[in-house]
Amino acid sequence: MDGGLSLETIAELAIALAGFSGLIAMIRSGPVHDWPPRARLAFWITLNWSMASVFFAALPSILHPFGVTGWALSSLIIGIALALGVILMLGYHVGLTRRGFPTQNGWHWVGAVSIPMVGIVSTMGSGSGLISSPSYEWYRLGVLACLLSAVPPFLASFRVRSDEPSDEPRQRKEEAR
């Protein structure tokens, strides 16, 4: 293996990022459901990408007992998961914007979409044989893209104003009807 990050190191970094996000959540005032919608979205995206990185770092080891020893299937699985993650993330973003909670961090969405796109292209391209033959290096790039996808929402969570209105009172009124 070359001198780059191993899958285990990426998983350790992902766990550290998720843990630090939890610390930030603990320090932030009030329970998560009382946070402004954009702060909740940034928190959940950070946790999801971080935990997905841990899972994908372990995926080859999980598949090995089932006789899957190449990188093609693992690469295709992570590529599909990254694509679904981007679709869901953008869906929530658009939904919040339509509900009257526009983003304060436009740069965050550029990074939040472009970073996983690198992972999608690398893993789907190598997994299908379009870029090159499936290999550890291409798969590792996909896992690293998954981890790096957690960084823009993590940084954006520091920029969400704590005085931004929560949508909790509106939800309670809708539930009461």
**pLDDT in single tens digits along all 177 residues of the chain:** 444 579 999 999 999 999 998 888 888 767 777 888 888 888 899 999 999 999 999 999 898 888 888 888 889 999 999 999 999 998 998 999 899 888 877 777 888 888 888 888 888 888 878 877 888 888 988 999 999 999 988 888 777 655 555 555 455 545 555
Give the number of other Cβ atoms within 10 Å of residue 4's Cβ. Answer: 12
* pLDDT in the model for residue 81: 92
In this predicted structure, what is the pLDDT of residue 3? Answer: 46
pLDDT at 27: 81
pLDDT, residue 122, reads: 86
pTM to 2 decimals? 0.81
The position carrying tokens 């699985």 is: 77
Query: How confident is the model at residue 166, as a pLDDT?
Result: 55
